[in-house]
Amino acid sequence: MQSLYDIPAPAKLNLFLHITGRRADGYHLLQSAFMLIDWCDTLHFDVRSDGAISREDLSWALPAVDLTVRAARALQAATGCTQGAHIGVLKSVPAQAGMGGGSSDAASTLLALNRLWGLGVPLQQLMDIGLQLGADVPFFLSGGHAWVEGIGEQITPLELPSAQFVVVKPEAGLDTRLIFSDPALKRDSLPAIITGFAADALSFGQNNLQAVAQKLCPDVTQALAWLASQGLNGRMTGSGSAVFAHLLHKVDLDSAPRTMQARLCSSLDAHPLVGWAPSGKLV
């Protein structure tokens, strides 16, 4: 049986996140800089000859049809592939954290099964499939850090300085829908430009979702307060409850509240699976 083991699915941080408007269909328009970090899920794949897609949870239990299963089925549907797969999912990236864990799993599944099934689907087609699964999936397929606009589908590669971060995930999660439906959400940030961001990449802007998130989830405020107690200026990443700060000096991770995961993370130079699909990294 053909297999692929220990396939990484890295998380991301939103270095900033601005909402610049809203489309007629209700989708929010955003600007953000996404940075890949070394907090990863790990996936295992075995080919099934019967065409079925099955999944084994190697850490905590996932929904019956998670994004890895949906991604595998979407790739089958797009290509007519009759092969199946058994997917083992070892989760590490927390759920409802704003770190893109599920989307990254979906992207790594598309890349891995494209190779394992011998399909040779070009990267752009994988990104089109991925966008139907979630707005962040194309970013994780793109191969590196990125300036992201629109609803997440407009991706411009970014060169960013290597950095370390303290990432803190409170026990409570956040439902993205509750944040984006809140009438208090700031939706009118002025559009930024890449050159303005690049001059101060690691402290540029803010996360427009943070004020609403703190109202909905007091644990976010507590996590930010702990970072402040360590002399760090924290902010929320994405639309989940995780917060982060650029690491400028040594901190005592053991002093974080017991209900929180506090982790030292490093940026990645590129996605570990860059080049796994024809045409490789976006240019």
Greatest C-alpha distance within the chain: 56
For residue 249, give the nearest of 169, 166, 178 by alpha carbon: 166
Joined together, the tokens standing for residue 148 give 């992201």
Tokens 């000859």 label which residue?
A: 49
Round to whole Å and give the CA distance between 271 and 115.
Answer: 16
pLDDT tens for the 283 residues of the chain, in order: 799 999 999 999 999 999 999 999 988 999 999 999 999 999 999 999 999 999 999 999 999 899 999 999 999 999 999 999 999 999 999 999 999 999 999 999 999 999 999 999 999 999 999 999 998 999 999 999 999 999 888 999 999 999 999 999 999 999 889 999 999 999 999 999 999 999 999 999 999 999 999 999 999 999 999 999 999 999 999 999 999 999 999 999 999 999 999 999 999 999 999 999 998 444 3
Catalytic site positions: 12, 136
Query: What would the pLDDT profile of 176-230 be if each residue is shown by its tens digit?
Result: 899 999 999 999 999 999 999 999 999 999 999 999 999 999 999 999 999 999 9
Domains belonging to the chain, first-starting first, are 3-157 (3.30.230.10), 164-266 (3.30.70.890)
